[in-house]
Amino acid sequence: MQPKGYEKLEKISKNIYNLCLENTHVNMAITKIGGMIRTGKVHNIIFATVDESPHCIQMHYIQDELREMMNLENINIKNYVVVNDELIEISPELILLSKKLSELKEKVSI
């Protein structure tokens, strides 16, 4: 991640865990994060990645898988991509749409 973007993330939270989905399978990440949530001590989760990475985008998909497994109503989840050292918030709806290419094709004329 871009250093200045990371510094901005540190201003939001001091509890930052690094994860590279090139090295760790997304299913393992889901299991580990799900276990952390089940402790009842997690109230906020921020998924922050670089933009345009085929591996990093999976990080944002983790929340959808977790929602299938457990109730996340009491967990505040935010998503960011870092572009030019800026944190850009991404909505859950946009993340879900990015998984549905046929629907995305209808909404974007390229």
- Per-residue pLDDT of 7-51, as tens digits, reads 999 999 888 899 999 999 999 999 999 999 999 999 999 999 999
Structure tokens at 53: 């990475």
The contacts of residue 95 (CB under 8 Å, 6+ apart) are 60, 61, 63, 64, 79
Residue 66's pLDDT band, with cuts at 50, 70 and 90, is very high
Domain ranges across the chain: 3-107
